[in-house]
């Protein structure tokens, strides 16, 4: 029998499967910012997530930028669906992977619209390399209280088999929102998310690469192996 998998990321996993339940643990709250930051000729605009693309879309007509980059193929595909020509995205879907491969001319001006709680690694590293970097706090994550409580209720009633996490924020909201029932079948995307869940005294299985498809494949692979 296949496992019932709860996926907690903000963006919906496009797969019609009755065994996969989408219960985002994060709501997104848009933030205001200084629109004068858009009045600059930028060499690069870097999108780190589909949410960043979604919430910055209304401002695209107001900013002058030569090139677009993205962290991850899914974010790049979403950009392309909006008519944005993404010139660069790394095969490693992480800030570390982006920094390892990204190159541009010295003194390039870069704008990064993203979450207010995004890891500062990308911005700080690019600045240290001599680029002029503008980070815009475009939105911030807040807990999706109802979904978190729904999932904890499902755990108590043995209505699910696996919970997946795609971000550290989702992990923190889940464990800090209220008392967490005993459960140990967690799967995560990314080393950072794994490190966060370990801070709460739990372990998790990490996907081979940082995509939702890989995460689901890892769950099903592990489940089949346990059933043997």
Mean of pLDDT values over 143-164: 97
- Nearest 10 degrees: CA dihedral of 113, 170, 50, 133? 20
Mean pLDDT over all residues of the chain? 92
Instruction: Name the nearest CA neighbour of 204 among 191, 223, 220, 213.
Output: 191
pTM for the whole structure: 0.71
pLDDT at 150: 97
Strand partners, 141: 28
Grade residue 227 by pLDDT with cuts at 50, 70 and 90: low
pLDDT at 13: 75
Q: Are 22 and 160 in contact (CB under 8 A)?
A: no
Mean of pLDDT values over 47-51: 91
pLDDT at 186: 98
Tokens of 52: 């960043």
Tokens of 203: 């372990």
For 64-119, write each residue's pLDDT tens digit.
999 999 998 889 999 999 999 999 998 777 888 899 989 999 899 999 999 998 88
Sign, CA dihedral 191-197-200-202, equals negative
């Amino acid at each position: 029998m296949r496992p019932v998998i709860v996926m907690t990321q903000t963006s919906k996993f496009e797969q019609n499967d009755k065994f996969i339940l989408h219960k985002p643990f994060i709501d997104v709250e848009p933030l205001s910012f200084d629109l004068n930051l858009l009045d600059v000729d930028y060499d690069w605009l870097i999108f780190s997530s589909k949410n960043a693309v979604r919430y910055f879309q209304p401002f695209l007509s107001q900013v002058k930028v030569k090139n677009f980059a993205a962290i991850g193929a899914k974010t790049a595909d979403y950009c392309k669906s909006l008519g944005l020509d993404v010139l660069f995205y790394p095969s490693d879907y992480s800030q570390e992977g982006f920094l390892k491969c990204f190159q541009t001319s010295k003194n390039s001006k870069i704008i990064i619209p993203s979450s207010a709680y995004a890891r500062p690694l990308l911005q700080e590293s690019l600045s240290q390399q001599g680029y002029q970097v503008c980070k815009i706090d475009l939105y911030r994550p807040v807990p999706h209280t109802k979904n978190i409580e729904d999932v904890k209720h499902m755990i108590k009633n043995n209505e699910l088999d696996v919970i997946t996490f795609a971000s550290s924020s989702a992990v923190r909201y889940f464990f800090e929102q209220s008392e967490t029932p005993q459960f140990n079948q967690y799967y995560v995307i990314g080393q950072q998310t794994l490190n966060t869940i370990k801070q709460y005294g739990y372990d998790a299985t990490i996907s081979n690469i940082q995509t939702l498809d890989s995460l689901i494949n890892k769950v099903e692979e592990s489940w089949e192996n346990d059933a043997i």
